[in-house]
Structure 1
Amino acid sequence: MRSTRLEMALDQGAFAPPAGDILVLRPRAGDDLSALSRDRVVVETGFRPDHDHFTAKGYRTTGGPFGSAVICLPRAKAAALALIHQAMASVPAGAPVLLDGQKTDGIDPAIKACREAGFDMGESLSKAHGKAICLTAAPAPAGWAAPPRAVEGGFVTLPFCFSADGPDRGSALLAAVLPDRLPAHVADLGAGWGYLARAILSRPGVQHLDLVEAEAQALDCARQNVPDPRAAFHWADATAFKPKHMWDAVVMNPPFHTGREAEPDLGIAFIRTAHRYLAPSGTLWLVANRHLPYDRTLTTLFRQIEDIGGDATFRLTRAALPIRSR
C-alpha cells in the first residue's frame, strides 16, 4: 500500500518536506495520505472519481507555492514520465520529490529512467509490493512532457487517454455498426478522446451529443477532435452523471478496469446510467468484451436485446425500450 511506503519514507527521513505546500500528483481513491499534514497537501488529478474522493475528504485541489511533491506512479510509461516532468517543474530546484508505485505499475523502469536522466536519487524503499524513492528536483528531459500526439484518423491524444496510440478495436467495431441515422439527443458515456463522438455526429438526425468523460486529459483532446457546436463536454463520473434532458440514444464502450483486475461492476454501473436517463423509446448501443457478465443486467433493464455482431473478443449489443419499475 502507498501509505506504508509514505510513512516509511517520512519516518526514516528519506522524504522530508520543507516549508510550503506538498503537491501530490495522481493519487487514487483509497490512497491514505494521512501521514502528510492535510493542511499542506494539494491533490492534483485529472481523473474525476479520484478528484471527488479527495475533495470530499477535505483536501485542496489548488495551491502553492510547492516545497515538495509526491508522484503516485501510473501504469503507462509516457504518463509516468509526464508526471515526473510536471513535478520537477512545480517545485524549486533541489526540492524533495517522492516517486512511489507498485512493481506491477512499472516503478522499476521509472526508477531506471530517472537514474539514466541523471537525477540525484536516494535509496529505494521496498514495501507492500512496491517501491518509493526520493529524487532531488532538477529539470526533467524535455521529451518527458508528452505534448499532444497525432494518431490515425486525424485525432490527437495525451498520455492519460485510454488507447492513446489510436482507436481501440472495440470502438472501431461499434462505430461501424451504428445506424445510418440517429435520434436527436444522444450521449457517449466514457467518451474518451472523441473517436465514437465523431462517428455519432456524422449520422444525420443528431441535434445534441453529451460527451461524458472522467479523464480530464481525454476530454481536452475530445474538444480538439470534435469541434462541433452540437457537442457538450462534461468532466464527470458517468456512473453519477445527471443530464439536463433525457437521451434518445446512448453509445458507449464502457471501461471495466480501475486497476489491473477486471471490475464488471463498473461497466454495469455505466449500463444503469444509460438505462436511467434513456427516454422510454430509447436505445443503447454497447460494445464490451465477450467475457464480461452484462447479459443479466441488460435483460433486467431492457425489453429488447439484440446481438449485432463483433469478433472473437468484442460483442456488440443493441438494447432498446428501457423497463421502468412501477
Structure 2
Amino acid sequence: MSVERLSFAIQNGGLTLPAEGRIALVGALAEEGLPFEADRCEVIQTFRPEVDAWEAQGAPLRTALEASYGAVIVTLPRARDLAEAWISRAEAAAKGGLVVVNGAKTDGIESIAKALKAKVSIEGQISKAHGKCLWFTAADALSDWARPAMARNASGDMTAPGVFSADGPDPASVALAEALPDTLKGEAADLGAGWGWLSREILKRDGIKTLHLVEAELTALDCAKINVTDPRAVFHWADATKWKAARGLDVVIMNPPFHVGRKADPKLGQAFVSAAAGMLAPHGQLWMVANRHLPYETALTHLFRDHSEITGNTKFKILHAARPLRKRR
C-alpha cells in the first residue's frame, strides 16, 4: 500500500518532510487515509468517487495544484503520460520544496524512477510493499514532462493525459453507436460519458430531447464540454453508480468501465446496470456494450423484464434491456 510505503520512508528511510508549509497529496486514495495531520494536507483529486470518499473523511480537497507547497507527494497513476504530467506539475508547485514520488511496480514506478535519476538528484529512496518511494528537491528539470491540461487528438477532439481512449473513440463505443436505432427519443443519459464521443453519436438522433453526460473524471468531463456543443447536452461530474435523475429517463446508454486500477472487476459494470435500472422510467430502455466475457446477463435478468443481445462479435456484445422491474432510488 502506498501509505505504508510512505510511512516507512518517513520513519525508517530518511524522508524528512518540511516542518512548515502545506503538503499536497496528488492522486492519494481515500481508503488508505491521510499519512499525517489533516491541517497540513491538501488532497488533489479529480475522480468523483475518491472526492466523495475524501469529503466523508473531512479531508481538505482541491481539483488542481496551486503554488508554494512545502512538499508535493505524488501517488503514481497507471498512465505514463499522466504520471509525467503530475510529477512535472508537482515540481512546479513545490518551488524549491520537496517532491515525493510513491508508486507500485505494477504502475510503472521502476521506469519512472530510472527516468527521474537521469534528470534530478534523488535524495532518498526506499523499496517497500511491492513498490518504491523516492524524493528530490524541486528545481526546473522536468519541464519536458509537462503536458497541457487538454489537447486535440489526431481526430481533432479535445482529450487529456490519462483520459480513457484519449487517442480516439473506443472500439466498443463505436460498435455500440452503430447498433443504436435512429428512433431513440426522450430524455436520455450516457453513463460514464468520458470525453464525449459516444454522446455526440447519440445526439445525432433528433428524437433525443435531453442527454445527461454523467462522468466521474473531471478532466474527461471538461473535455466533453468542449467536444459536445449540442444545447441538449447537460453535464454532470458524478459517480454514475450514485447519480440520480430528476425524473425517470426514457433511455440509458453506456459503455461501462470494468477495471479498478489494473484489476478487472465485473462488479463495477454490474453496479452501472443496477444504477441504470434505478434511473429509468417504467417504459425505459437500456443500451450497453460489454466485452464478450463479462457476465452482465444475470444482473439484467434480475433488473429488467426483457433483455437480449442484439448484435456483437468475438470481442464485444451489444445488450438491450427494457422495462425495469424495480426502482432503486
User: Could you state the TM-score of these two structures normalised by the residue count of structure 2?
Assistant: 0.94
- Structure 1 runs of 4+ aligned residues shifted over 6 Å read none
Distance 2:29 2:258 in 1: 16
Secondary structure, counterpart of 1:239 in structure 2: coil
Q: Which amino acid aligns with 2:60?
A: R
**1:2-151 → structure 2 map (5 Å cutoff):** 2-11=2-11, 12-33=13-34, 35-62=35-62, 65-93=68-96, 95-116=97-118, 118-147=119-148, 148-151=150-153
Q: Which amino acid aligns with 1:165?
A: D
Give the match for residue 219 of structure 1.
Answer: 221
- In the TM superposition, what is the alpha-carbon distance from 1:273 to its structure 2 partner? 0.8
**1:234-313 → structure 2 map (5 Å cutoff):** 234-313=236-315
- State whether residues 91 and 142 of structure 2, in contact with CA within 8 Å, keep that contact through their aligned partners in structure 1: no
Distance 2:115 2:241 in 1: 37
CA deviation string 1:131-164 (max 9, x = no partner): 0001211225334222223235431110121111
Q: Which amino acid aligns with 2:116?
A: C
Give the match for residue 229 of structure 1.
Answer: 231
**RMSD, aligned CA:** 1.6
- In the TM superposition, what is the alpha-carbon distance from 1:104 to its structure 2 partner? 0.4
Gaps of 5+ in 1: none
Distance 2:58 2:145 in 1: 31
Distance 2:88 2:32 in 1: 22
Q: Which amino acid aligns with 2:163?
A: C
- State whether residues 160 and 217 of structure 1, in contact with CA within 8 Å, keep that contact through their aligned partners in structure 2: no
Give the match for residue 182 of structure 1.
Answer: 184
Q: How many residues align?
A: 323
Q: Which moved more, 1:12-21 or 1:153-162?
A: 12-21
Distance 1:140 1:289 in 2: 42
CA deviation string 1:24-66 (max 9, x = no partner): 0011231232x32211110011111111111111110148742
Secondary structure, counterpart of 1:52 in structure 2: helix
- State whether residues 21 and 69 of structure 2, in contact with CA within 8 Å, keep that contact through their aligned partners in structure 1: yes
CA deviation string 1:206-247 (max 9, x = no partner): 111100000011001000100121111111111111111221
- State whether residues 189 and 251 of structure 1, in contact with CA within 8 Å, keep that contact through their aligned partners in structure 2: yes
Distance 2:141 2:268 in 1: 36
Give the match for residue 316 of structure 2.
Answer: 314
Q: Which amino acid aligns with 2:53?
A: H
User: Could you state the TM-score of these two structures normalised by the residue count of structure 1?
Assistant: 0.95
Distance 1:308 1:152, change over 3 A: farther
Q: Which moved more, 1:161-170 or 1:216-225?
A: 161-170
Gaps of 5+ in 2: none
Identity %: 47
Secondary structure, counterpart of 2:100 in structure 1: strand
